[in-house]
Structure formats: C-alpha cells, structure tokens
C-alpha cells in the first residue's frame, strides 16, 4: 500500500475501465468506511451516497450526464448527495453550503481510497440535476453533488499540468 502522498499523486481521472472486472465487495466497503471518516461541519455528515452497480441504473445515470459515456463502462458509480435538511436546525442559512461541502469532501476521500485500493475513478460534476433526481427518485432534501465512477483502469492517463504554487497560494 502506498503512503498518502503517493496515493494523492497517483490519482488521475480515468475514463476507460476494464470490462468484466467488478469492484470487490471488500474494496467497496473499505472505500465507504474511509469516506465516513471525512471531516464534516458539526460532525453531522450531511450527505447521503447511492451505490450504483446495476448496469441499467448506470445507463440511467449516463442519460442524466450524456457527455460522460464512461459512466456505463465503470462497474460502479457512487452518487454523492448533499442532505440539505440535516444541518438546517444547527446552521441555518449556511446549512446548504455546509451540506454541499460535506458531500464534496466525502467524495474526495472516496476517490483517494479507491486509488489506495488499486482502483481508478473519475469525478462527474456535469449532469442534469433534475434528471438525476428523477432517475434515483431522490427525496426533496437530497441534492446531487457528484458522481464518482470507480473501477479497474483500462488506461493510465499521463499526469495533467498543474499551476505553480505561486499562482494558487498567497502567503501573508
């Protein structure tokens, strides 16, 4: 197993997955357990995750995100939803922001856990919210934030260029 820095550096968006290689239940369980360790506002974990392994259901996800054809190639998709009701009483007007942040951080942890488990992933943020809500029959208090596709890579893309630290960091 890699150390944390190696894991982060090996995370790439993979859009081609090996066919007929499902994600083992123990790896999925490990990913979900790590996801639950993500920091959250007030420790409320204001998110809900749908595990989509059924091919027909993944086709429905792809219909909500038509430009993301790899959704149906990956054997697994995790749909991260912000639970808008959970933090409302405690955080009032900031609750929607906090729920969105909670779901986003949990998704990032899931991606890193997938890499540590020898898998690959891709983050899908471009989708039709209403179509995805209909597809998953989401209750009104859940808002989809991201789809994370997970599987064994059929490609290892070259690292993409990153901005220099002095372009993204201001030291005071």
Question: What integer pLDDT is reported at residue 45 of this predicted model?
Answer: 96
Whether residue 13 lies inside any domain: the answer is: no
Task: For residues 167 and 172, give the distance between their C-alpha atoms in angstroms, rounded to a whole number.
Answer: 14
How many domains is the chain partitioned into structurally?
Answer: 1
Whether residue 171 lies inside any domain: the answer is: no
Asked if residue 2 has pLDDT above 80, the reply is: no
Question: What integer pLDDT is reported at residue 143 of this predicted model?
Answer: 98
Beta strands in the chain, from DSSP E residues, in sequence order? 47-52, 76-83, 120-124, 142-151
Residue 76 β-bridge partners: 150
Asked if residue 1 has pLDDT above 60, the reply is: no
Whether residue 86 lies inside any domain: the answer is: yes
**pTM for this structure?**
0.92
Whether residue 65 lies inside any domain: the answer is: yes
Whether residue 14 lies inside any domain: the answer is: no
- CATH at 74: 3.40.109.10
The parent domain of residue 121 ranges over: 21-156
C-beta neighbour count of 38 within 10 angstroms:
19
Task: For residues 151 and 26, give the distance between their C-alpha atoms in angstroms, rounded to a whole number.
Answer: 14
Whether residue 168 lies inside any domain: the answer is: no
pLDDT in tens, 106-156: 999 999 999 999 999 999 999 999 999 999 999 999 999 999 999 999 988
Give yes or no for a contact between 109 and 41, defined as CB atoms under 8 angstroms apart.
no
Whether residue 39 lies inside any domain: the answer is: yes
Question: Strands 76-83, 120-124: parallel, antiparallel or unpaired by DSSP?
Answer: unpaired
């Amino acid at each position: 197993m890699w150390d944390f820095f190696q894991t982060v550096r090996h995370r790439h968006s993979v859009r081609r997955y090996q066919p007929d290689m499902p994600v083992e239940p123990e790896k999925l369980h490990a990913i979900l357990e790590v996801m639950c360790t993500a920091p959250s506002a007030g420790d409320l974990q204001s998110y809900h995750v749908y595990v989509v392994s059924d091919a027909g259901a993944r086709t429905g996800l792809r219909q909500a995100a038509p430009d993301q054809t790899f959704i149906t190639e990956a054997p697994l998709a995790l749909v991260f939803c912000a639970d808008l009701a959970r933090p409302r009483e405690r955080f009032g007007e900031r609750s929607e922001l906090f729920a969105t942040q909670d779901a986003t951080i949990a998704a990032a942890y899931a991606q890193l856990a997938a890499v540590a488990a020898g898998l690959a992933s891709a983050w899908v943020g471009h989708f039709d919210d209403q179509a995805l809500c209909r597809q998953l029959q989401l209750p009104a208090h859940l808002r989809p934030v991201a789809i994370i596709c997970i599987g064994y890579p059929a490609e290892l893309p070259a690292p993409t260029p990153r901005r220099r630290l002095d372009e993204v960091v201001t030291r005071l």
